[in-house]
Structure 1
Amino acid sequence: MWISLKLTRAYFAFLEVLFSSHITFILNLDTNTFMHLVGSLESGLKGLDTNISSQCASSVDNLAAFYFNNITMGEAPTLPTAINLARHIAECPNLFPEILKTLFEIVLFEDCGNQWSLSRPMLSLILISEQIFSDLKAQILASQPVDQHQRLSVCFDKLMADVTRSLDSKNRDKFTQNLTVFRHEFRVK
């Protein structure tokens, strides 16, 4: 048990380094390998270890920020790495929506001690596609009692209040503040 935990921690620390400092290497992998690594990040987010969850959130944020900066905000991707990422995502279009859903479920329905860390990739993923966010909002609302829909819809509107289409630190901090209020107001019965 102890060895596997130590190994697990080392694995996710390694992934965090790869996704922060060697993203080109990650994006040049074949799609199956890429998906396996990103899938393990999602399972790490769901784990009970806050350090691992935070490392996975950082890795997802680096990937989503790369996508946002080079594909969403770019004209047409010209960097080979951006083209590779676009291809990976085209082959697995549910990747980002599933991770964003996982992050929202953790923040809204679990007691997470690393909300700040989780907020970073949430903003990056929301900014990649307003449609993904809109669809997820509808899914979450549909899972809640009908008499709560209006109140919860207002919570979602407040979440994005004064948040711009930017990943600068000031905007990230604004989103994180909004997320804290959102989580509190969402959970009030």
Structure 2
Amino acid sequence: GTAATAEDVARVTQGLLVPGGPVDAELRRVLNLMLQLIMAGEFNSTWSISRPILALILMYKDTYTQAQELIVRQQPTEDRQQYVGKCFSELMVGVTDSLQTKNRDHFTRNM
């Protein structure tokens, strides 16, 4: 076979990330699921979950904010709500809108 050209890739992927499209909706769902896994402690490696979740947070800030607010509200006590809210705030301290290695490493340390 022949190697795919940039035009081939663009033609195949054109429209996949259209806001409100099927891929867009699935990626938002994945972000929500990953946040739930983190809250439940259901992951083996902070590094392995931090890399994809940062990309999703940066792509879907509105979904991240909504999920964060929902997770905080779902906590059983006011003290726990304050604690979880503080954790979410601290998660993004010093994190920029970039996927550069330095920024990803900083986000991983915050996790």
Q: TM-score range by the shorter chain?
A: 0.7 to 0.9
Matches within 5 A, 1:18-167: 79-80=10-11, 83-87=14-18, 90-92=20-22, 93-147=24-78, 148-167=80-99
Paired position in structure 2 for 1:3? none
User: Structure 2 counterpart of 1:91, which letter?
Assistant: G
Shift of 1:111: 4.1
Alpha carbons of structure 1 residues 172 and 81: separation in structure 2 relative to 1, 3 Å:
farther
User: Structure 2 counterpart of 1:84, which letter?
Assistant: G
Which has the larger helix fraction? 1
Alpha carbons of structure 1 residues 90 and 159: separation in structure 2 relative to 1, 3 Å:
same
Any gaps of 5 or more consecutive residues in structure 2? none
Q: How far, CA to CA, are the matches of 1:164 and 1:98 in structure 2?
A: 23
Shift of 1:82: 5.4
**TM-score, length basis structure 1:** 0.49
Matched, 1:169 2:101: yes
RMSD value, Cα: 2.4
**Deviations 1:111-136 (CA, angstroms, capped at 9, x unpaired):** 42222111111000000021111001
Any gaps of 5 or more consecutive residues in structure 1? 1-21, 29-78, 180-189
How many residue pairs match? The answer is 104
Identity of aligned residues (%): 29
Please list every run of at least 4 consecutive aligned residues from structure 1 whose deviation after the TM superposition is greater than 2 angstroms.
Answer: 79-87, 89-94
Q: Is the 8 Å Cα contact of residues 72 and 84 (structure 2) preserved in structure 1? A: yes
Q: Classify the secondary structure of the residue corresponding to 1:98.
A: helix
